[in-house]
Amino acid sequence: MNESRRLVNQILSIIIQNRPLSTPHRLPSQPIPIHTVSEVLRSIPRLLFPSTRSIGRQTTSRRRTPLRQRNLADESTKLRSNFLLLGPAAHRDQQQVDLGLDSAIEFFFWVESQFCFAHNEMTCRDMALVFARGNRLIPLWEFLREMAKRDNGADLVTTSTITCLIKVLGEEGLVNEALNLFYRMNKYHCKPDVYAYNTMITALCRVGNFKKARFLLQQMELPGFMCPPDTFTYTILISSYCKHGMQTGCKKAIRRRLWEANHMFRLMRFNGFVPDVVTYNALIDGCCKTYRIERALELFKDMNKRGCSPNRVTYNSFIRYYSAVNEIDKAVEMLRKMKHLRHGTPTSSSFTPIIHALCEGGMVEQARDFLVEMFDGGSVPREFTYKLVRDKLRSLEKPDLLDGNLCQKIESAVENRYQQVVKVKPVMIREKLFLQEEL
């Protein structure tokens, strides 16, 4: 395993330093393992494609505004004209992206010619994902066409490969291109399955194209269709309706999307599907965030009635709502109920809204009690929450309510968590420095 990791680092070092693979270096003469080739291809986008603003940050799909369909031609024009570019490709170093794409292509065919390496589905999928994450679509179509023409093309380009590409293209905001690839699956001798349909529906919902997503769902609902929908298909639409409505910030859009989410929930029940806890949580969270507490409580009762046990996510939605509307007693009641019924263990996400609401209401001593209870339960409070309670007690001239030993333990736990996060977040920076020093 160490030898394989050393070989991967050595090849990545050559790629990052922009050195040709054909130059003499300490590469092995024996065939390279498949997992080594796959690891190199997967590492190239992580090391060379992220923007300068994302280095050291955790990958996440959360966005401040809804994702929109991108126009690559318009983006190229803006880059040439030095205009402001927003979206997933903002602040990317195009030279690094071009270097990564060229190096990936060179490496893919180099191992094939140099070591007689036989590519399989995994390595072809990883190479195709490099094209997708680099937003190079024409080379991607040419690569898929070339792989499909090979003697074992049916084993190289599979439904799983196309589904992964649809997922990545959807994350990159290239949903129309993902939809074209979805409809061209027959060209690569692939048939879409329910997972491919769910992935395509998720990508369409990301950019707010609910009309097309509903059309795909209606196709799946046809009698005798080869890919009937499942519970997750409806859950995707219900969750997307709630999230997209909140992201727009428009009251009319929020009201419309929430109505559609409830309608989809009833349609799901009508078609004989049993909602699971994820479906209930998505709809309850949407109702709580739009202050429709009556509907949220109705869904909560329906969960218990149908034997679907709520979890911590369910209770946290109610706790955040009651804390936001200053009904702290009901928020505490939900917290106690979760512990009493053993539907989950409260964490910092459960205690934090209550503590903040108590501090805003001037009940600092009760906030201090919940802070101590949270820490005794094994959850480390957020630094802002701890400082808020501490500063409020000092302003009331009651700093003794927080014991010195307790403060030291909390501060030590916060510092330890910070150090652990620091070890994880700047992983790309440390990898680049390590790889550059490898040779």
Q: Are 208 and 66 in contact (CB under 8 A)?
A: yes
Between the CA atoms of 414, 418, 421 and 425, what dihedral angle is there, to the nearest 10 degrees? 150
Residue 376, φ and ψ in degrees, nearest 5 = -65, -25
Q: Across 204-357, where does the E strand assignment appear?
A: none
Lowest-pLDDT choice from 120-124, 241-245, 375-379: 241-245
What would the pLDDT profile of 191-237 be if each residue is shown by its tens digit?
Answer: 999 999 999 999 999 988 999 999 999 999 999 898 999 999 999 99
What does the domain layout of the chain look like in residue ranges?
1-51+67-191, 223-309
Distances in whole angstroms, Cα of residue 75 to Cα of each of 90, 179, 192, 200: 10, 20, 31, 24
Q: Are 200 and 178 in contact (CB under 8 A)?
A: yes
Q: Residue 176 is encoded by which pair of tokens?
A: 């129309």
Mean pLDDT of 295-304: 94
Distances in whole angstroms, Cα of residue 96 to Cα of each of 52, 140, 280, 383: 11, 18, 44, 37
222's CB contacts (< 8 A; 6+ apart) are: none
Mean confidence (pLDDT) of the chain: 85
The pTM score is 0.86
160's CB contacts (< 8 A; 6+ apart) are: 121, 125
Closest residue by Cα to residue 36 from 3, 76, 69 = 3
% of residues, the chain, pLDDT over 90? 47
Block residue for tokens 């920076």? 429
Mean pLDDT of 93-121: 87
What would the pLDDT profile of 370-420 be if each residue is shown by its tens digit?
Answer: 999 999 888 989 889 999 999 888 888 887 777 788 888 888 988 888 787
Q: Are 320 and 342 in contact (CB under 8 A)?
A: no
